[in-house]
Chain A
Amino acid sequence: MQFVLTAGYNRAPHVLALAELLRREGHEIGGLLVVSALNARRARSLVRQRGLGFLKLAVRRMFPGRRPVAGDADPILSFLASHRIRSRSLRRWAAEHGVPYRAVKNLNDQRSVEFVRTSRPDAVLYGGGGILSPQFIDSAQGRILNAHSGPLPHIRGMNACEWSVILGYDPEVTIHYIDRGIDTGAVIQAIPVHVEPGDTIDTLRAKCAVLGVEGLLDAANKFEHAPSPRTRSAEITPSRQCFVIAPVVREILDLRLRARGEGIG
């Protein structure tokens, strides 16, 4: 099968892991569409939505400063190391394996849409890059898979891992199709996230990233037998969309998580 992958930045470890594991499974990577981080408009929009703290996180993501090692405290880095994935940049990985690499300002620009249309992949595997336009979705004929860090249809939108805990749902990673709504596409698979004593929201998010890679890989392997994309929003009334969690609500979440961890122990 042939897949096109998207990424929100060049050093996205989960997309690196997914691309390499797909290659090892014998799939063809038709291309990588990577949103350029050096984009003032995007940076401004992200800071507006997520606050200045997001800049710090973005810099840490782009310049991790160390190589992944097995048993790393960060599950996604540990995952990379345990699979002996040494590359740290999608650009370099693509060059090594002769995969087309496109750095774009926006996944919805004409260049990205044309790239997907002409590549004619079996599916696009979404690894980040912002909300997709109807044109982009149509260019892939609706066959775009996403790993969402929350149980669908209950928790749609941003900070899904946080919201699932605070709203009393068991954390889950949901593999689903992207349609024109926000996380309203058909669900392919739901993968539970195990909460352990001492887990924080950051460790849970990292666990979700690993489960997302495994879930997308599994969905790609079984894609021939996957259900067809259909519009979920017509069947189920979507739940209230989640947005970036306010600091005070995040503090309540930390209290809940601590209580939950103590309960588990």
Chain B
Amino acid sequence: MDTDIRSRTALPSVRRYFAHLDATAGWLQRSIFHGRGGSCAHFSHVAGWSKPYPETTGYLIPTLLHLHSLFPARCLHQDALATGRWLLSIQGREGSWAGGLHPPRGNGRPSIFNTGQILKGMIALYNFTEDQEWLDAATRGAAWLARGVGNNGLWEGGDYRAQDTPSYYTHVVWPMLEVWSCAGDDKVRDAAVSVLDRIVDRRLPNGVIQGWGFAEDEPAFTHTIAYTLRGILESARLLNAWDRYSHAAVPALEVLIRRSELAGGRLPGAFDANWQRDGNYVCLTGNAQVAICVLLMESRSPDLRLVSAAARMVDYVCSTQRLRSPVAGVRGAVAGSAPVWGPYMRLRYPNWAAKYLCDALLRLIERVEREAVA
């Protein structure tokens, strides 16, 4: 860890957070080293490092670039650029990316969700390098997404569910709006808003947004719940329409905050449509993602009680991490579930859990350091 980082803050917890960030950044670099161009989807004790996952490699790029500013010696920007070039090399002619791990089985079916996530990497690289090729790739991807929106204002067909657009596709709307904010294509914006409007209309009186899980009639992991909420909040920010859209996400977040606070920062791994917990495990990536949503909400109405709630969620995820382990695939990794044999990514350490822990820590550190010097 860089000496200037260790000495830059008086808060012991922030020094601890930097230790977790450093270890997690190291794990992410190992996932790229083993990833044959991208970042491995996960590590498991049984199968070792998996094949690379274009979707999560794409949204890992902004995290790598952010981490680079804190740990320049790790040269994480080189990893971001290398994985970005790999993603360019596998982009479809019409602008999309295929679903699943790489290489895909057969020809690979274009994926709405994966394309959306990869746009985040392209935009981050464009902002970092100001090189037009990244924006061109993003624009083609966003245009392909916009063309797929049907007359009902939703995508026709999907990835995991064929009939309707899952609500966590707000996490596709958000990167489309990121591309629109850079490239200014109003067709992309209009398509994104039409999807967002329809998903927001699915909110139930108890704050649940119907269809936010992988399967319609099963409890939703906090991972996809947080995708849905984050997509709404980030879209509201980009559209400068916070009041119009945030009301769809805030009631659910309030429920999640309360549930987490009463359990010491441990959110149940999944909820049904009545907010009943499913099982006795924590979906660790969901815990970190919800913390990010809470901090995003707090950025609009500052309140240290919300920062504390987010910190406790992040602290719990950190408490499950092993910073020292002889197994390189476990050192600095974040498991899918706690306990590790829980149903979400059972016995595996996904790269997106590591990514979201880093994102949550980066936001939290920035927020508490601002407060500490106030």
Contact = CB atoms under 8 A, between A and B. Distances in A.
Interface stretch (B7-15, B165-173, B201-209, B231-239): B7-15
Given A49-B262, A50-B264, A243 B308 contact: yes
B263 A249 contact: no
Contact of A246 (B10, B14, B312): B312
A49 B311 contact: no
B261 interface: yes
Contact of A243 (B10, B14, B262): B262
Contact-size category for A: 20 to 34
A251 B15 CA distance: 12
Interface in A26-77: 47-51
Nearest to B257: A243
B372 A244 contact: no
A242 interface: yes
Contacts of A246: 265, 307-309, 311-312, 315
Contacts of B273: none
B315 to A, nearest CB: 7
A49 B264 contact: yes
A249 B12 CA distance: 11
A163 interface: yes
A156 B227 CA distance: 31
- Main SS of the interface on chain B? helix
Nearest to B311: A246
Contacts of B14: 248
A251 B10 CA distance: 9
B303 A244 contact: no
Contacts of A247: 13, 311, 315
A175 B256 CA distance: 31
Nearest to B14: A248
Q: Most chain-B CB neighbours within 10 Å: which of A50, A242, A246, A251?
A: A246
Contacts of B371: 252
A248 B364 contact: yes
B368 interface: yes
Given A251-B11, A251-B13, A252-B371, A244 B264 contact: yes
Contacts of B315: 246-248
A50 B307 CA distance: 16
B244 interface: no
Contacts of B372: 251-252, 255
Nearest to A158: B261
Contacts of B261: 49, 243-244
- Main SS of the interface on chain A? helix
A166 interface: yes
Interface in A240-262: 240-249, 251-252, 255
Interface string A165-186: 0110000000000000000000
A48 B305 contact: no
Q: Most chain-B CB neighbours within 10 Å: which of A51, A240, A243?
A: A243
A66 B134 CA distance: 70
Q: Most chain-A CB neighbours within 10 Å: which of B13, B304, B305, B368?
A: B305
Contacts of A241: 258
Interface in B275-324: 303-305, 307-309, 311-312, 315
A49 B259 CA distance: 11
Interface string B92-115: 000000000000000000000000
A50 B265 CA distance: 10
Contacts of B12: 251
A244 B308 CA distance: 8
Contacts of B11: 248, 251-252, 255
Nearest to A255: B372
Nearest to B10: A255
B304 A167 contact: yes
B348 interface: no
A255 B11 CA distance: 9
Given A240-B305, A246-B311, A252 B263 contact: no
Given A48-B266, A50-B264, A248 B303 contact: no
Contacts of A240: 303, 305
Contacts of A50: 264
Interface in A199-255: 240-249, 251-252, 255
A217 B125 CA distance: 66
Given A248-B311, A255-B10, A49 B304 contact: no
Contacts of B263: 48-49
B266 to A, nearest CB: 7
24 contacts: A49-B261, A49-B263, A51-B264, A167-B305, A241-B258, A242-B305, A243-B308, A243-B309, A243-B312, A245-B308, A246-B265, A246-B309, A246-B311, A248-B11, A248-B13, A248-B14, A248-B364, A248-B368, A249-B307, A251-B12, A251-B13, A252-B11, A252-B372, A255-B10
Given A47-B264, A49-B261, 19 more contacts: A48-B263, A48-B264, A50-B264, A163-B305, A167-B305, A240-B303, A240-B305, A241-B258, A242-B305, A244-B261, A244-B264, A245-B308, A247-B13, A247-B311, A248-B17, A249-B304, A251-B12, A252-B304, A255-B11
